[in-house]
Structure 1
């Protein structure tokens, strides 16, 4: 751990100070929250960190024994806490053990000190948001928790067991890559779903559109269209939600490109960025013209962590990936564009990830891949306008078509000039 040119004593004391500070931070939180009780508080936790740091620095061979020595009195203190206070919570006990380890990690190296600071900060935040976390958990229905648990279990079991290579029996598909992209796309939707739960049903229509865009912009469009049929006066605020959800699709596609093929961002960002800008400006005008007392009750969003929709997306993604690759081989770039348009009507994510992967492999050029992604986004945007006409009122259809029409024209214009 010794750094050249630095006094070893100073370096050791510096790392010990880091551990001590982290212990004090956690201890203060435990005492202020009154969760530590008589078990441990603002003085005891820094001592845990110093203990772990000193052992790691001067008797590293005895780390296992030293940890065991700490566990014994902690167990006794925990048992006494149960007897005298009737509190069986394990949080403070685990925090004490973790603080001891953080003290040891801080002594390991400069990188270890940084890791200890990051982990210690995260632990403190996690401990301090007990009530919001419990309130959030209470908002999630039991069926949703079970669905999420099943999905996570399947991910943990299935993903590592899938072969990470192209298989002839699957026409050259890499099953682990396909499933990894399923998890990635579902995860994006799940983050937005959690945001919707945290904000609650009273969230603004703007947040409804943004969250809906990440979970399912099509579902948001259908919901808003149905509400205008029930109450035609809500066409402006419903149009704003539809446009917002549709525009969010473009940054979402950029995130997917950045993860799968960062080099493609240079070509995709200008058209999708311009479409986002135009859409945001148009949505702003729409919001400004919307009466402040116009509100709609957002539909409860379904948890994206469900197995059947995930498998359905995986099937779509696999088919799109295969069709795109063969379409390019058979028909050239025109085959890619036709596939992108048709696929975009159903799902932009599948086409975005497929073309990003094909461009990364060199199967298609970056220009063709970027154009195909924009074509898919344009097709899906047109679909939203069509749904607004078919399922909503004429006013909603006209307003959504005008705004999204500007977005589509922007994208097509940039494609035409070769950006």
Structure 2
């Protein structure tokens, strides 16, 4: 906790200014909101933030009592708003209390300032996105809501209950780690799914590829291939979506490596980074050649918070982890590369997480892990090209095969050389 009596005056003033700025930011947003402006706005919220900062800084022992005292006038104002405006929304009331806590955080420590800024910014975005969020909720049907609820429930119940150690009955696997990777990968897909749903049907082809790449690049490829069979003139725009979805796989893999084994990231970033750059350039050329837009229909992208696919990925990840360890022990790096290729045909995430884990444990070298991840990415890229060729028109298959072939060759060249 910062002691204003001993801390430099400039530091104290700077922290108060941060608190004031956060209060003003949230106050401006609340005043813009029809339901919030009459309750508290651009003047009241900065005062709330300064109130919290001054009490926490100069009278920390009485902070709890001060917050309790503030609840009384806030409750009176809320009751008056309900009485006169017939608005029972609690958003502004809760935001006001949060601003007091954010102001107090700025006087707590340097980390407190950072947390206050991050939380304040995220809160502002959340409050500002009221209409898109409500529209998103309205578009999600009952089946999707149940799927999400079941998945979150299973995560909250199962994850803490799983033992966080290697079990002989599972051939040395750590069940909590396996399930944590399932949650992580599914979470990435859900973020992209929400973005696509919030932005609605007017999202363009660029977002089609980006969202599809995080949710399911395979599903995106199949969807685009089917579109070309319905309308052959769309092969350029559909090729762009397929290529974009395919190259999103590379930064997604880098995110997974960074989470599981940050020490491996510099080595993997070079080949996957080059493949991403080559793919972006190729996608840019395709976009330039594209004169129209095409959207993914709402049914093309499914909510990734589904229990059965999540369990399936968990099984795949566990099997790939065991097979990779055995192949490395029995056949060395050659056996591991073969496993990486076969695994990559179906899923890149499982192999990326597996090799990152093995490298972190010292079971394989950085070079072997990097090469295996690139091989898995190349194998999966080849599958996208094959799907476009088999399910789409000849023009789509040729264009996608050439572009993704160049992308794959650039990564292979780096790991071979």
TM-score when normalising by structure 1: 0.91
Structure 2 counterpart of 1:335: 335
- The offset of 1:263, in angstroms, is 1.9
Q: Is residue 33 from structure 1 mapped to residue 33 from structure 2 by the alignment?
A: yes
Question: Which residue number corresponds to residue 128 of structure 2?
Answer: 128
Question: Any stretches of 5+ residues in structure 2 without a counterpart?
Answer: none
Q: 1:154 is matched with which residue?
A: 154
How much has 1:82 moved relative to structure 2?
A: 1.5
Partner of 1:196: 196
- Asked whether the equivalents of residues 234 and 296 of structure 1 are also in contact (C-alpha less than 8 Å), the reply is no
- Distance in 1 (CA, whole Å) between partners of 2:295 and 2:101 is 50
Cα pair distance change 1:50/1:293, threshold 3 Å: closer
Q: Single out whichever of 236-245 and 315-324 deviates more from structure 2.
A: 236-245
TM-superposed CA distance for 1:347, in Å, is 0.4
CA 1:47–1:357 in structure 2 vs 1: closer, same or farther (change >3 Å)?
A: same
Tell me by how many angstroms 1:360 deviates.
Answer: 0.8
CA, structure 1 residues 264+138, in 2 after alignment: closer, same or farther (shift >3 Å)? same
Separation in 2 of the partners of 1:144 and 1:304? 10
By how many angstroms is 1:155 displaced? 1.6
Partner of 2:64: 64
Distance 1:20 1:284 in 2: 44
CA distance in 1, matches of 2:50, 2:271: 55
Q: How far 1:94 moved relative to its partner?
A: 1.0
In 2, Cα distance between the equivalents of 1:287 and 1:279?
Answer: 12
Task: Give me the whole-angstrom Cα distance separating, in 2, the residues matched to 1:294 and 1:100.
Answer: 47
**TM-score normalised to structure 2 length:** 0.91
Deviation (angstroms), 1:179:
0.9
Q: 1:170 to 1:293 in 2, by over 3 A?
A: same
Contact 2:35 2:87 (8 Å CA) reproduced = no
For 2:355, the equivalent position in structure 1 comes to 355
Provide the C-alpha distance between the structure 2 equivalents of 1:243 and 1:108, rounded to a whole number of angstroms.
Answer: 48
Tell me what 1:257 maps to.
257
Cα deviation for residue 154 of structure 1 reads 1.8
> How big is the shift at 1:115?
3.2
**Alignment-derived partner of residue 371 in structure 2:** 371
1:2 aligns with 2:20: no
Tell me whether 66-75 or 169-178 shows the greater mean CA deviation.
66-75
Root mean square deviation, CA, Å: 2.4
Deviates more, 1:30-39 or 1:320-329: 30-39
* Number of equivalences: 415
Q: Is residue 205–residue 293 contact of structure 2 (8 Å, CA) maintained in 1?
A: no
Structure 1 residue 129: Cα displacement? 3.0
Change in Cα spacing, 1:112 to 1:410, as seen in structure 2 (3 Å) is: closer
SS of equivalent residue, structure 1 residue 370: helix
CA contact (8 A) 1:49 1:99 kept: yes
Structure 1, gaps ≥5 residues long: none
Counterparts of 1:150-299 in structure 2 under 5 Å? 150-290=150-290, 292-293=291-292, 295=294, 298=297
User: How far off its partner does 1:6 sit?
Assistant: 4.6
Q: Match of 2:389?
A: 389
What CA distance in whole angstroms lies between the structure 1 residues aligned with 2:19 and 2:285? 53
Q: Which range is displaced more, 299-308 or 18-27?
A: 18-27
Quote the residue 1:306 is aligned against: 306
Of residues 118-127 and 394-403 in structure 1, the stretch that sits farther from structure 2 once superposed is 118-127
Tell me how far 1:183 sits from its aligned partner: 1.0
Decide whether the 8 Å contact of 1:2 with 1:11 is kept in 2.
Answer: no
CA–CA distance in structure 2, aligned partners of residues 336 and 78 of structure 1: 64
Q: Partners in 2 of 1:297 and 1:116 — Cα distance? A: 38
